[in-house]
Structure formats: structure tokens, C-alpha cells
Structure 1
Amino acid sequence: MLSMGIEFFLFFQQILRIAVPYVLTSVGASFSERGGVVNLALEGMMLAGAFGAAAGQHYTGSAAAGIFFALASGLAVAFLHAFVTVTMKADQIVSGIAINILVMGATRFGLSVLFGSTMNSSRIGGIEVPSVFADPLFLAALFSVFAGQFVLFGTPYGLRLRATGENAETADAAGIRVSAMRYSGVLLSGALAALAGAFLAFQQHSFTDGMTAGRGYIALAAMIIGKWNPVGAALASLMFASAEVAEMWLQSGFLPTQIVQSLPYVITLFVLAGFVGKAVAPREVGVPYVKNRLSD
């Protein structure tokens, strides 16, 4: 009985550890999309954050500096996405995909310049803690859920942000600066995605090429399943993390490896098929706002 309890605790701790990047990124996505900007660039923001964290800690020896460089990198990518979609009115889907490709190439180039390799960085110390419960990035993820829920649904800022995603013209007429609100939502999503990338780099004690491995897209799916709601997004993230842990535990079983490795993605498709029709997106998400049809 004791061994079963220990196994369950380890299983639960592993779920929480894997859920951290999903939770941070999906909560951030809620802010971006509630403001009206589709954020497929989450993958690139996470990857930039992971690279910034690895490079920052490698050259300074400080995890705090690594987090600072992660945030700077993620915010730079988020600003680019906001500029292209909010200021230049470009297609938000195309911008997100293009930015992901750009960041993949840029981090690969950065690896070759800074570490002399196109595959991985030098080993970094990460954040040494006895368990995930003591990890400051885990605590940041936990805080982001409740703070995000309160900010979005309990503050004037959250009301203004949601207004820009529901009806930008009405929000503008009420004196809300639509562009500024949308920029803020994208930048918040970039900061949280960058922290998610930093967590990945610290956990793996290095940066490896393409290490986010589609987590940004899964986080976006979690946000949709969670109905553009930080608490709902976090719960969906836990579900996907559970599937990923189950994949690890099943790899030594009788199922073919290819089936086991595809489990998180299969679950994503099935859950989206079941929930996306019931989840109502912000009315003008993905729609650039052109003030008076002439200028913003």
C-alpha cells in the first residue's frame, strides 16, 4: 500500500512538472485571444524563451539572468507578432506560422554562433530544487492561473481587453485604445510563453534544437478547450500532461512505440472535436481592426 502511494505521488508530481509549460502558455494565449489576436506564434515564443534562458544562464551562471533573457527573447517575438498583426493588419495565422519558422531558424543559427553546434547548447545548471513544488516557475504557473482569471474577469483592464476582442469598434467608441489593448494581450502571452520555455530549458539543463516539440500548439488547444478562460485552460493543460505521462509509462508495455508517442496528439484531436463546437471564441478574434475602415 505504501509503495502504491509513493508511485501515485511520483505520477502526480510528474504530471504537474509536465503541465507547467502548457499552463503558462495557455493562460498567456487567453490574454492574446481575448483581445482579438490569434496567437499561433506561441511555439516560437516558447522556443525563444528556452534559448534565452539557456544562453543567459550559460554566460552569467545565474538562473535569474536566464529568466531575464528568456523574458526579453519571448517579448521580442511577441512584439514582432503584435506589430505585424495589430499595426500592419497582416493575417494573424500566417504571421504566427511565419514567426515560428523564423524562430526555429534563428535559434539554430544562435546555437552555431554561441555554442558551436546546431543541435544543442552546453549544459546549464537550471534551478536546483528538491521537487517541482519548490520551483519558482511552477509557482509562477500556479499564480498565473488565479491572477489571470481575476485580471481578465475582475478588473477594468480585463473588461477593456475582452471588449476589444468582442467588438473593437464599440470599444473604440467608448474611448478604449484598441491597438494598445491588443498589444498588451500579445505581450502578456509572450512573457508567459517565454517562462514556459525557460522551464523546459532548466528542466533539461540545456537548449536543444526544436525542444518545444509542438507544445505551443497543444497549449493553444488547451486554451480553446478551456473556453478562453485561464482556469479552464489550466485544467485542459493538466489533461494533456496526464496523457504525456501515460505515454511515458506505457512505452515499456505491449503497445507499439509509434502508437504510444502519438497518444497526446490523438487525445488533442478527439477532445477538440468534442469541445470546440461548444466553446465560443471572442467574436472578433483574428479580425484586424481598421478604424472607420481607413486607419486604426
Structure 2
Amino acid sequence: MSPELIIALLAAAVQAGTPILFATLGEIVSEKAGVMNLGVEGVIAFSAFAAFITCHLTGSAWLGLLAGGLSGALLCGLHSLVCQVFLGNQVVSGLALTLFGVGLSNFLGTAYVGIATEGFGKIALPFLSDIPVLGPIFFRHDMLVYLCYFSPVAVWFFLNRTSLGLGVRATGEMPAAAAAAGLNPQRLRAFGVMAGGFLCGLGGAYLSLAHTHLWTTGLSGGRGWVAVALVIFAFWRPGRAVIGAFLFGGVMAFQLRLQASGTNVPSSLLLMLPYALTVIVLVFSAARARNAKGGASAAPAALGVNIEPEG
């Protein structure tokens, strides 16, 4: 493989990894608040449609991006309502959210399948894009890719250096102690879930506004499930999520290029590659969590445990 092809493949890995990174960061925030959200796939699917239809009707890619994020927050707010108010099972509610989001996006988007929208175009950053090797890989993309570069730092700062973020983490570790300190665990959890939903929505918006520039059914393509798995791989750390997202993005880009090259490998096997890697990563992460001291405690202590209302 020539150096030019390798650089092109790595650049494609960055593009393919961007929506996964947004979704993974969103799930990290949600789980840090103590709420497991298995509805990421549905959130991505519906947010992709919300972003597309808003951009299509208004002609503004930025309004489309905002619509994608807000629609993700809205759907995850519904998940929070089920789990925090009605004390529904978080796993069941998340799975229902996936079915609801995917089904609703397909239903509403049927009339728009194949219609293109302008969305976000590529912008080469001055000076940085001219750096040998690194320039073509990292600095010749659209604005959402550049936004994703800063997102892990922003999420880390929020969770570790702000009072609101520390409160969100406290509700995921020990809600009773957070309540004793004068915090409102229910509200903080709701905020964490919806903030995570907003990030997932940005991932969905990227797919329709920057990745494909059109609407089609099945646009999420299993990325939500990959994001949920990457949270475990990253041990709930935003920095490690970057590695996982771009790694999976590279596998997705690689299998697409293999298909385009006319390889004799069956396309079904190539499509399976990213998800086979997901299983391998989960096995590796589980083994490491057992063997590494403190690895098993990386997950928030109260993850998946609903907060009983007072009185």
C-alpha cells in the first residue's frame, strides 16, 4: 500500500470515528451520572434525521446541528423521565429508546430518502493543513471533525473541574451522599443524561450533515452499539475514548475501501469487521478489569441503580 493510500485511509478513519467519539462521550457523561443508556443507537438515528430535515428546510447547517443535539437531549430526557420518575428498568428503557428512535426516524424520513442537503463542507486549516502527513490526516476536514478534537477535553474539564460536573459524578457514585451534601441527585442525573444525549445528537447530526450529505434509512449503522462498548473499553475516561473511536473508525474505513477495491472477500464478512472488533474489545476490557487493580471500580458505583424518591 502506497504512502498516499495510507494517509487517505487514516484521514477516513478520523472522519468515520467522529460520530462514534461524540456518541461515546455522551454515553460517558450519562453513565457518570449513574444512568445506563442503551438507546444511543436510536438517539443517533433520530438526531441524524432531525439535523437533516432542519438543514433541508432552513438551509442552515448550524441550525441543523443544533436541532440534532437538542433532539438527542429530548429523547434522552424521555429516558431519564422513565428511569428517574417512574423508576423503570434502565436497560429495558434504553432498548425501547433504540427501537423508538430508529423506527420514528425511518417513518418520518421515508419521503426524504435519497434527498441531498448541503451541510458542512471541508475546510483546510491554514498552515496546519500543509504539515506533511499530519496535515492531510487531521486538518483537511469539516468543522464538526475539528469540534470533536476539543470535545474530549471539554468533557474531561466538565466532569473533573466544575462544580456541576463533580455533582453529576457524585450522583453516579453515591446518590445518598450527594443528597446529604445538599445536592439534588434526580436533577443532576437528568442533566447528565440530557447533556450526554446532546453529544450523541451531535454524532447523529454529523452523519447526515457531513458524512453523507443526504438522508437514508439505517444511517446510524450500529454506531450507537459500538459507542456503548467503547465506554467500557475507555474505562469511562474521555481521553481513552478518542483512541477507541478512531480505531473503530479506521476499521470501518478499511472495510469500505476493501469493498470498493473489488476484493474477493464476501461483503458480509467485511461488514462484520467493526462489530467483531467490538466483541474482542469487550472481552479484552473485561479481562483487564479483573486483572488490573481498580479496573473493576472504573464504572460508577451506582450505575444502573435508580434513586428512590424521598417521602
Q: Tell whether the structures are fold-level matches, with TM greater than 0.5.
A: yes
- Which AA in structure 2 matches 1:164? T
Equivalent-residue separation in structure 2 for 1:269 and 1:73 (angstroms): 30
Asked if 1:161 is matched to 2:161, the reply is no
Q: State the number of aligned residues.
A: 286
Equivalent-residue separation in structure 2 for 1:111 and 1:263 (angstroms): 28
> Is the Cα contact below 8 Å between 2:41 and 2:102 reproduced in 1?
no
Which residue pairs with 1:42 in the alignment? Answer: 40
Asked if 1:246 is matched to 2:254, the reply is yes
Equivalent-residue separation in structure 1 for 2:265 and 2:218 (angstroms): 27
Deviation at 1:28, TM superposition (A): 1.0
Which residue pairs with 1:8 in the alignment? Answer: 6
Equivalent-residue separation in structure 2 for 1:258 and 1:204 (angstroms): 21
Q: Which moved more, 1:127-136 or 1:259-268?
A: 127-136
Q: Which moved more, 1:124-133 or 1:222-231?
A: 124-133
- Which AA in structure 2 matches 1:238? F
Match runs of 1:1-296 below 5 Å:
4-112=2-110, 116=111, 120=113, 122-130=115-123, 133=139, 134-202=141-209, 203-251=211-259, 252-277=262-287, 278=289, 279-280=295-296, 281-291=299-309, 294-295=310-311
Q: Which moved more, 1:271-280 or 1:174-183?
A: 271-280
Deviations 1:66-86 (A, max 9, x none): 112212321211111111112
Listed as ranges, the gaps of 5+ residues in structure 2 are: 125-137, 290-294
Equivalent-residue separation in structure 2 for 1:288 and 1:95 (angstroms): 12
Could you say what secondary structure the match of 2:2 adopts?
Answer: helix
Could you say what secondary structure the match of 1:210 adopts?
Answer: coil
Deviation at 1:15, TM superposition (A): 0.5
Equivalent-residue separation in structure 2 for 1:98 and 1:153 (angstroms): 32
Q: Which moved more, 1:37-46 or 1:250-259?
A: 250-259
Deviations 1:45-86 (A, max 9, x none): 111210011101111111122112212321211111111112
> Is the Cα contact below 8 Å between 1:38 and 1:286 reproduced in 2?
yes
Deviation at 1:258, TM superposition (A): 2.2
Deviations 1:4-28 (A, max 9, x none): 3322221111000000001111011
Report the TM-score when normalising by structure 1. Answer: 0.91
- Which AA in structure 1 matches 2:11? Q
Equivalent-residue separation in structure 1 for 2:256 and 2:22 (angstroms): 22
Equivalent-residue separation in structure 1 for 2:49 and 2:253 (angstroms): 25
Deviations 1:25-48 (A, max 9, x none): 101111100110001111121112
Equivalent-residue separation in structure 2 for 1:290 and 1:254 (angstroms): 56
